[in-house]
Amino acid sequence: MAADGPERRGPVIVELHVLSGRPDPRWPLDPGAAAALRALLATLARADAKPPPAPGLGYRGFTVTDSEAVRHVFNGLVTVGDVALADPGRTVERRLLGTLPPEFEHLGPVVAAALDG
Amino acid sequence: MMLRVDVDIFSGRPNPAWVVSDEDAAGALLEEIAAVADEAVGLSGAGYGGLGYREVVISSMSDDESWPESLPRTFTLGTIGAPDPRRSAELARRIVADMPRYRGFKLPGHAETPLDDTTRDLVLEQMDRFFQDPPEWFRPPLFPSNSLRSTIREDEPIDTGCFYEVSEFNPDFWNRPEVQPYNNCYNYARNYRTDTFAQPGRAHGAQTDVMACPDVTRAALADGLVRRFDCLPDSEYPRRLMALVIWPGVDYHWYREQRGDFWGHKPGSTAARNYDNRGALITDPETCDRGGYTDFCGYFYAGKSVVIN
């Protein structure tokens, strides 16, 4: 993410990929959470690994979309197109899970268990 | 009015055929048959198709006869294709018994198959034998040719007489950028692309937020699905076999049986596939790895008239 002011970047939308029948939850990040996420992403090093295939049913990661990029976050990797960043502690996924709105809180333990599994 | 009668019984020689030329008798007969059409009448070719006695075909002699609305202009009696074959046989037997009365009206086949007592008695004897122990007979329904689709008869563990269709696994249809994100497991299992991430019951004002077997089942039934073994007629072709599972309190998921004895599914906006969470081919949706979707709700047919949104 470029170092422009937040007002230049527009909203950051997070989507949690976990459901099959019902639509996956989507929510916007508040400016503070978006800034914290950008700072965290800036600390990650490039990785050679490719993301593993997600399971069909259950937790399959997050997508973070803003005016600059669509980032896929799953299993300790953040990918943008062909570029991957390593996040072995799955910090980004946990940070995103922490922004889960109250109406989706029943999904929190499910994702947390997948992250710790 | 006159009626033509053909007894479908022979293979080499001409079938016994005659015309009920007594107009009053023909009218009365047609009226009597029309009154019990729902029980006794079948369609030509829908019953037994093997060697020996098969059915009695009744047809009109001209295209402008007044005709009962409840009867097609060609229909069958004495057929196991009728809803009540015994009732159908009783009517047919009476018509055959009158055969010699109409030998005066000549038809081309009468030289080889005369309308005499011998022919009548032979037909009556064969009919009686046939209906004492009607043969098991399955005639595959006649559907438009489709190389991607086959019809399955439900005969295990018991022969229910239900039919449904299985399709060739065709994930490429679903896994395109303009399709994949907008169609979910319900779209895939029903085999109906709506681009609306279809929800059970939504098309009929019966959607539920309760993620439990009874509630999602109720919503799906409102869309027109029926429980397995509640046979769908051929008019509902193509009929899909679907399976519903539930992640208790969270979500639902559907599978569809494919041609080749395996099942396909499309988890949410992800790609359509035929393997489970362990990567194994899904041969049984009840025992495959379904992650958190632990509750198996059952199987359903979705016929042509099922509308989802």
| A56 with B250: Cβ contact below 8 A | no
| A56 with B273: Cβ contact below 8 A | yes
Identify the pLDDT of residue B49.
81
How far apart, in Å, are the Cα atoms of B45 and each of A28, B56, B59?
64, 11, 14
Distance from CA of A44 to the nearest CA of B (A): 27
Whether B107 and B122 have beta carbons less than 8 Å apart is answered as no
| Residues in CB range of B20: below 8 A, 6 or more apart | B2, B3, B4, B5, B26, B29, B95, B98, B102
Whether B32 and B41 have beta carbons less than 8 Å apart is answered as no
- How would residue B234 be classed by pLDDT, with cut points 50, 70 and 90? confident
| B269 with A60: Cβ contact below 8 A | no
pLDDT < 70: residue spans in chain A? 1-9
| B291 with A17: Cβ contact below 8 A | no
Of the candidates B33, B19, B283, B259, which has an alpha carbon nearest to the alpha carbon of residue B149?
Answer: B259
CA angle B12, B14, B16 (to 5 degrees): 130
Identify the pLDDT of residue B84.
87
| B251 with A24: Cβ contact below 8 A | no
Q: Could you tell me which chain B residue has the CA closest to the CA of A24? A: B268
> How would you write chain A as a 3-class SS string?
CCCCCHHHHCCCEEEECCCCCCCCCEEECCHHHHHHHHHHHHCCCEECCCCCCCCCCCCCCEEEECCCCEEEEECCEEEECCEEEECCCCHHHHHHHCCCCHHHHHHHHHHHHHHHC
| B253 with A106: Cβ contact below 8 A | no
List pLDDT tens digits, range A71-97. 999 999 999 988 999 999 999 999 999
Distance from CA of A4 to the nearest CA of B (A): 31
| A107 with B250: Cβ contact below 8 A | yes
List pLDDT tens digits, range B240-278. 999 999 999 999 999 999 999 999 999 999 999 999 999
Beta strands (DSSP E) in B160-305 are: 163-167, 226-227, 240-247, 251-258, 262-264, 295-302
Report phi then psi at B301, rounded to 5.
-100, 145
Stretch B226-244: mean pLDDT: 94
Whether B114 and B103 have beta carbons less than 8 Å apart is answered as yes
Stretch B84-97: mean pLDDT: 94
In this predicted structure, which of B2-11, B138-147, B230-239, B244-253 has the lowest mean pLDDT?
B138-147
| Residues in CB range of B95: below 8 A, 6 or more apart | B5, B20, B29, B56, B58, B77
Whether B245 and B259 have beta carbons less than 8 Å apart is answered as no
- Rounded to whole angstroms, the Cα distance separating A45 from B27 reads 92
Scan for tokens 């060739």, then name that residue: B168
Q: Which of A57, A62, A74, A111 to mutate to test the interface with B (most CBs of B within 10 A)?
A: A57
Q: Which of the two residues, B42 and A12, has the higher pLDDT score?
A: A12
- Minimum-distance CB partner of A57 among B199, B200, B293: B293
Whether B22 and B54 have beta carbons less than 8 Å apart is answered as no
CA–chain centroid gap for B72, Å, is 18
CA angle B227, B232, B237 (to 5 degrees): 120
Identify the pLDDT of residue A89.
94
Beta bridge partners of B41: none
3-state SS assignment for residue B100: helix
CA angle B201, B262, A55 (to 5 degrees): 70
Identify the pLDDT of residue B140.
56
Q: Which residues of B touch A106 (CB under 8 A)?
A: 249-250
Stretch B174-196: mean pLDDT: 95
Distance from CA of B232 to the nearest CA of A (A): 25
Stretch B71-86: mean pLDDT: 89
For residue B157, count other CB atoms closer than 10 A to its CB. 6
pLDDT beyond 80 at B198: yes
Q: Which residues of A touch B268 (CB under 8 A)?
A: 17, 19-21, 24
Report phi then psi at A23, rounded to 5.
-65, 145
| A19 with B251: Cβ contact below 8 A | yes
Q: Which of A20, A74, A110 to mutate to test the interface with B (most CBs of B within 10 A)?
A: A20
Stretch B273-292: mean pLDDT: 96
Report phi then psi at A10, rounded to 5.
75, -175
Q: Which residues of A touch B269 (CB under 8 A)?
A: 17, 24
Whether B223 and B201 have beta carbons less than 8 Å apart is answered as yes
| B249 with A106: Cβ contact below 8 A | yes
Distance from CA of B309 to the nearest CA of A (A): 12
- Rounded to whole angstroms, the Cα distance separating B210 from B77 reads 51
CA angle B268, A74, A48 (to 5 degrees): 130
List pLDDT tens digits, range B112-166. 999 999 999 999 999 999 999 988 776 555 566 678 888 898 988 777 889 999 9
Identify the pLDDT of residue B297.
98
- Rounded to whole angstroms, the Cα distance separating B53 from B137 reads 13
| Residues in CB range of B252: below 8 A, 6 or more apart | A20, A21, A22, B185, B200, B211, B216, B244, B245, B246, B293
